[in-house]
A = this chain, B = another copy of it.
């Protein structure tokens, strides 16, 4: 079994109002999409295109944004805030990010990442004619796949029923994609080929642990 992770290159710096699905259709044409591919897109690219870039002239303004974007602050450690966002995601600094953004600006999370993923998926499927899945990293949105692989009830190699194993397969795919997209690079997307995921309607909310299992609470 072989997995291939390909960087999607040639996408220019994304600006508010850009047609990101259209840019992706064009950029992946040199790779060529196959049935079962997963297209991973950074949420930063999505947020920029959808206009969720705001002013953050200084550290204080940034800190205030982090508080504003938090539905609840779960933990603070120095400058780091672990917050639950309005979407229900638990993440660092409410997902507000200043890296790879022009000076004085910050990027918020997309408002509805599953919907963004679905929109991108529809355009890519229409252009390529194949069935595929889309993940918005850091796994804030998914379309066309179940983000968790639930192995509970599956026999292991000794015939013992696995009791607790659930694999956050969408997170693993996002991590694999991150290896080619990098953090400093201008690469907002990757194609992951060869993953055996479960097709169907999924939502990144499936990855959110219920509060009684969430160890940050």
> Residues on A close to B: CB < 8 A?
1-7, 9, 13, 75, 77-78, 80, 82, 98-103, 149, 151, 154-158, 160, 162, 165, 167, 169, 171-173, 175-176, 178-180, 183-187, 194-195, 212-213, 215-216
Chain B proximity of A196: nearest CB distance (Å): 8
Per DSSP, chain A at the interface is loop
Contact present for A172 and B183 (CB under 8 Å): no
Instruction: Note all chain B residues with C-beta closer than 8 A to A7.
Output: 1-2
Closest to A155 in B: B184
Instruction: Note all chain B residues with C-beta closer than 8 A to A195.
Output: 179
Contact present for B2 and A3 (CB under 8 Å): no
Closest to A216 in B: B215
Given contacts A7-B1, A158-B101, contact A171 B175 (CB under 8 A): yes
Contact present for A183 and B151 (CB under 8 Å): yes
